[in-house]
Each structure stands twice: as C-alpha cells, then as structure tokens.
Structure 1
C-alpha cells in the first residue's frame, strides 16, 4: 500500500490547527436551493433497501444491492452545485485556505466531496455531508437537485448519524468542534452540542434517547509519538442526551486504558460499534492494530484485542500512518455474535467472534480498507477498499469474501438506505 508522509505538510497542519482555534465559527443556516421543496409529493410508494457507497474524491455515491451480490444499481451526483460552491470558495481567502488545507492534509491531495450519507424514510432524499464544502445537503434523488443546504460551523463536515425515528441527522463539524443536529426533511438545526477537537463518529442509541460521540483530535499533524500526545488536542468519548443535547458523560479512553494497564494508547476513539443491549462498546483508537472492548455499565476496559499487522505496517513509522488510522472500520452483526474489522494499514478485513475475540481468515480484497457496515439480516459485512475503489461482501458465517464490486474513486462510508422502486427502475447501472 502507498502511505503519504505527513512531514511535508507539517507547516500547513500547524497553521490549520492555529486557525481553527482562532477563527470564529461561521453562521450555520439552511439554504433552500429548491423553493417549494417541502411541497413535493410525499404520497406513499414502494421503497427498497439499498447500500449507498460514498466515493469521497469522486463526489458521487454508488447504489448497490445490500446482499452477497453487491449488484450495481445506480450512481448519484453528490455535487450538482459544485461550480457555484467553488466560486464561493475561490473568492473568500479564509475559505480557500481551509479548502486547500483539507486537500493537502486530510484528502491526501484530493478534494473531499462525500463523507457520510443517509436517506429519508420515504426514499426520496439523500442527505450527505461534504467535507471540502463544509456543508450538509439534502438531494432530491428524482431530480438530482438540492432540496436544502446547511453550512456547518467552521470549515469541514464529517461523520453523521440518523435518529432511529428517521427525523434527525447529527453531523460533526470538524473544525467547529460542535455536532449539529438537523431536521432531516428541512435542514433546519434543532440543536447542537460541544465536542473535543475534530468531532468524528456519532451513533444514536437504539431507543433514540442518547447520542454516542467521539472526537479524534488533530490527526493531520506529524507529532505522533506518545510523548507528544498532548499536541493532538482534546479527545473525548461522550454520551449525549438526544433531547436536551446535554453532555451526560465524557470519558478519556486513553486514561481509562492507562488505568487498566495499557499505557501510551491514544484517547482518539475512531469507528465504534455496540452490543445489542448497548452495554458494551467496541472501538478502534489511533495507532492501534486492533480494538477495545469497554463496559459502559461499569466504566471499565474489558479487553484489548490485538489483530495481525502486515510486515509493511509493522515497519511503518507512526508519522506515516494514514491520518493516525491503524484500523478504521468496525461493525457488529445484529445478532451480536461477530464483529467485522477493517485492518486499514495492513490491507485486510476479518471477522472476529465476539465470545472468543479470535479473528478468522484475513481477507485481502484491496488496499486501504476504510469502513465496515453490516447487512440488515446479519449475513454479510460490507467493506470499502478506499485505495482500490472496490467494495466487498464478507460472509459472517464463513469469514470469506463472497462478492466484490468496483465503485467510484476512494469509497469510504457505506450506509444502508431506502430508495423508491420507481426511481430505481429508471436508473442505469454505473460503468466503473
């Protein structure tokens, strides 16, 4: 795999960190690009479950069957307004600085146009966070135009989560150090809560009463040694009331690991997944080739699970890690029996039994796996290979790869969603 060094970007990284701390947050407000969007036909119709794959550098999302076939069904343009947005960026020196900084530091030399995405329950609107454009948009799938647009605080949007009732979407504002909660139909902000530096992952509890959130700090700096850990900024795992947006609990997972006898682990919680009863959270942390099992009821580290490293990864200096991500992608099947893990720096994915915490076959389906998502029936885990522009389906039963499909440039986040069957029937499968 090819790993980009962070040393050439050191000055730009420190400048971006300083600007983040010093610059005021932008005014966040929805912009309704399609007047009358709320009056669109909302009559009932048949919907189908699909798998959306966000092609971050492409500015597109592929639509696949959410099964062991991964049949390509459609491709959606996520940046239909790109010309207008770029005119705004290039006429604002501050925005341009961040835009180019994101390209150089987080985008590995590329613009980031698709991070996360969810659909409305009626399957008509795709809601997408667009990092380089610092916004969240609602896209009318039928017409391809924006229904609404929300500008996040700061200059970059990131991971999202949708509430179980499908009414709200929470989005991390990376340089604004807040999480916005929006009405998914209108883009209006209904609340927000504070985060640490570089807000990242969000997960709603099954009952919709809490939001689990984590911040990851300044992953774009080259100051990666444990002795310099404090330079990475504030990093917290948070439990937030989903009604009042009050932060109920804030945990420093690095300190928890240190207390459990695991010193020098990062506090930056990356992707996370939960047991069906939500007592246990399984999460990845920066620089660690494996994952942590944590008991939320007793507030203690239960297990630290080491997974294999490739020879190349073992010989890679921390400063050359991809945005500090040794592993980035973890999911649990709905039955709660197995986990699916993306070994990002070692170019593999694997199924891990939850009871024994032992891994199975290492599936080497491409380069730089960067996300894992379970199928709704729990039969498959979908893994995005961002360096190879492919998505794989792994069998939770056998651990083997059962399908692989080519998608757009740099697939990252994958989410299950719904689309109208009449829209789907009109689409031509993409030619990748």
Structure 2
C-alpha cells in the first residue's frame, strides 16, 4: 500500500513537470504568434514599371528605393500557352499602345506579404508571395487586357477592369477565384474605393484607338458607382469623353477627374450629377503643336492626386511635361514643377503623410517627389523602365529584405 502511494506521488510529480513544460512551450508559442501579429510594417510606395515588368518598392517616408520584384517570371511560359486568338489580341493591344505593358496595376495585402498584380497585355492577375518570389495563383481575365485594379479595404477582394469585355471582375484574394462581376462602360479603366470604403467607382474611357473625330463611336464613357460590399450597381454618371484618373473627397460629394483630350480637369458634383467647374490648364509650346490624336491613349493630362488635408490637388500635365499643384476650393494654380521635354508625367499619388505628391516620369524611368506646400521637387527616385501606376502599401522588414536590388 505504501509503495502504491509512493508510486502515485512520483507519477503526479512527473505529470506536473510535463504540464509545466507544456505551459512554458505554449506561452512561448503564443508570444511568438503575438509578435507575428504585431510585427511592425514599413510604409512603402509601389511603382509599376510597365515595360520592365517589375514592381519597385519605395520607402514611403524616406523615399529610398528598397528593391523590386519581377512580376513576369513566367513570361515565356505565358506567351507559349496563348492560343492563336489570344496571341493576336496580345499583339493588337501592343500595337495600339506602342509598347508591351506587363504591369498595369498592383496592391499589397494588409500583412504586406502578398502582392497582387494586374498584368496588362498578358490579360491576367497574379498573386505573388513577395518573400519567396513565387506565384501563388493566376487568373486569366476575360478579353485581351487586364487594366486598373483596386484592393478592398479588408484585403479580401481584388477588383480589376477587363478592358475589352466591358466589365469589372471581383476576385477572391485567397485563391484568385472570381466572386462576381459587374457591367461597366466601354473600355473600363480606373477602379477606386471611396475614402470611407462604402462605394467603388469604375471609370470607362471608350475605344482609345479611334480618332477624336469619331468620339461618338468610342462607346459609353461613364463612372459606374457600385456598392462596395454587394457589388451591385447603384447609379451611373455619363460623360462626353473618357474618364481618366479621378479622386474623390472624403464626404463622397465631389469627384475631380481628367477627361480624354482635356488639358485640365473637371470638378463634378456626385450628388447633383453634374459638372460644376471645368479648369483648362496652359499648354506647353510642344503640346500646343500636337494633334489631339497624338496624345498618349487620348490623354492630355493623366495623373491626379489629393493631398491628405484635401486642400490641394496634384495634376500631371502629361503632354505638357509639368506637374501643377492646385488649391481647393478656388481651383487656382499654386505652383508648377516643369520637367525636361518628353518626360511624360503619367501618374500621381499622395504620400502616406499626405504632404507629398509622387509623379511618375515614364520616359525618364524615375519618380519625382513634389512638396504640396511649395510645389518644389524634394527628391527624384530611379525605378524601372516606364513607371506608371503608383499605390501605397506597407510590408514587414523581412519581406523588404528579400527584394532584388541594384
């Protein structure tokens, strides 16, 4: 009986030691999970280098180029897999643009580890594990071009315009599966979530290969307003010309937009459904001599951003080789930054602190950083060939350390 009690006590002690060790292990694991969940993210600017087929990562505050990711590691495989119709469409889009656009748009997942890329003329969307530099999934977009895209605020949906199919496709970011789609105007282009995340705006530009004289045949140029949760079309706003880059005020009241052929922009009241003001910007001598049919993809100005305090607009004068800082609500120009001839300012975005405007100078392969307060250039960042689209994101340091540099 004594020996039984002694054996029982030894067993209980061993069990206590085992439970204590398990508790320490579990605590350590929970601490590691907690550290992973609270891992600090570094603000970055993503720059899509359209012709290079790469995405540059720029520190969002210091403007240092941190490296890049190859977004077309499977290019030869993709081209070889195209059937004759797909290949003909690929070549036709290349000819219409005058170059091969491999990166059209992109976004980083909320944890900064997955990059979603709309691959323009390859007509697909691909998700990359950034650190491993591997493709997680790929989805072929209907038609011949995957255009501008937007990531939902919660990171679960990636919306991309199927340019030649007159629709926007909503993809599940977990596996690339199409969730739904919604109808758009002709040649859907931009996708923008409203500042409060409740609405999604899709802008269509019409058939850009037709000359201005045949504008009536370019199709339906409109802004389609969609419920961001259900993707149900709520209303449409139609325009005489294609709707280019646009920004939306926090109260969902005003849209500032560039239109095809317009050397300037409009202020549009979304509640009233009408253009309130049209602002014409000055032509450069070189731009004044150009035929409208020589404007790149019908765009005189292509690139618009709104400062963090919504007091100023940043406008890329694409054919004029300048960027203009415009005051709200007067819509008067506060300052210009002029660039060398044929620099092709072709997109703009506002920095995470709201104080700077990033301007893609596509023909110079650089991003120019403009101070909203002074309209002066404070930095110039070399990137890849033909930078255009710019998007904000954030990523952990181990992901950024994995990027290709040099």
Same fold at TM > 0.5: yes
Per residue, is there more strand in 1 or in 2? 2
The aligned counterpart of 1:376 is 352
The aligned counterpart of 1:396 is 372
Query: Is residue 2:198 matched to residue 1:190?
Result: no
Deviations 1:137-176 (A, max 9, x none): 1011011111011111111100011112222111000111
1:136-175 alignment to 2 at 5 Å?
Answer: 136-175=125-164
* Deviation for aligned residue 1:426: 4.2
Q: What is the aligned counterpart of 1:224 among 207, 212, 235?
A: 212
Change (3 A) 1:182 1:428: closer
The aligned counterpart of 2:388 is 412
* Deviation for aligned residue 1:360: 2.7
The aligned counterpart of 2:81 is 88
d(CA) in 1 for partners of 2:80, 2:404: 31
Q: What is the aligned counterpart of 1:73 among 66, 76, 80?
A: 66
The aligned counterpart of 1:307 is 281
2:79/2:87 contact within 8 Å kept? no
Query: Is residue 2:189 matched to residue 1:200?
Result: yes
* Deviation for aligned residue 1:250: 1.3
Query: Is residue 2:236 matched to residue 1:236?
Result: no
Query: Is residue 2:112 matched to residue 1:119?
Result: no
2:45/2:390 contact within 8 Å kept? yes
* Deviation for aligned residue 1:364: 2.2
The aligned counterpart of 2:47 is 53
Q: Tell me, what secondary structure is at the counterpart of 1:103?
A: helix
2:131/2:398 contact within 8 Å kept? no
2:93/2:144 contact within 8 Å kept? no
d(CA) in 2 for partners of 1:317, 1:427: 42
Deviations 1:33-53 (A, max 9, x none): xxxxxxxx9953332111111
d(CA) in 2 for partners of 1:272, 1:356: 18
1:276/1:335 contact within 8 Å kept? no
d(CA) in 2 for partners of 1:46, 1:220: 46
Q: What is the aligned counterpart of 1:62 among 56, 59, 62?
A: 56
The aligned counterpart of 2:238 is 252
1:276/1:334 contact within 8 Å kept? no
Deviations 1:278-335 (A, max 9, x none): 2100000000011000111222211111111111111111121111000000010121
Change (3 A) 1:336 1:408: same
* TM-score for both structures, normalised by structure 2: 0.88
Q: Deviating runs (4+, > 4 A) in structure 1?
A: none
Deviations 1:203-251 (A, max 9, x none): 1123332211111011122x212xx221211211111122332221112
Q: What is the aligned counterpart of 2:292 among 313, 318, 321?
A: 318
d(CA) in 2 for partners of 1:426, 1:85: 25
CA RMSD of aligned residues (A): 1.6
d(CA) in 2 for partners of 1:248, 1:240: 5
Change (3 A) 1:147 1:248: same
d(CA) in 2 for partners of 1:218, 1:425: 42
1:204/1:211 contact within 8 Å kept? yes
Deviations 1:61-99 (A, max 9, x none): 1111113x421111110011112101112xx11011111
d(CA) in 1 for partners of 2:204, 2:403: 38
Q: Tell me, what secondary structure is at the counterpart of 1:298?
A: coil
Q: Tell me, what secondary structure is at the counterpart of 1:363?
A: strand
2:195/2:249 contact within 8 Å kept? no
Deviations 1:386-411 (A, max 9, x none): 11111011001111111011111100
Q: What is the aligned counterpart of 2:270 among 276, 280, 296?
A: 296
The aligned counterpart of 2:18 is none
* Deviation for aligned residue 1:131: 1.0
Structure number, greater radius of gyration? 2
1:165/1:208 contact within 8 Å kept? no
The aligned counterpart of 1:32 is none
Q: Tell me, what secondary structure is at the counterpart of 1:424?
A: helix
2:264/2:301 contact within 8 Å kept? yes
d(CA) in 1 for partners of 2:100, 2:257: 28
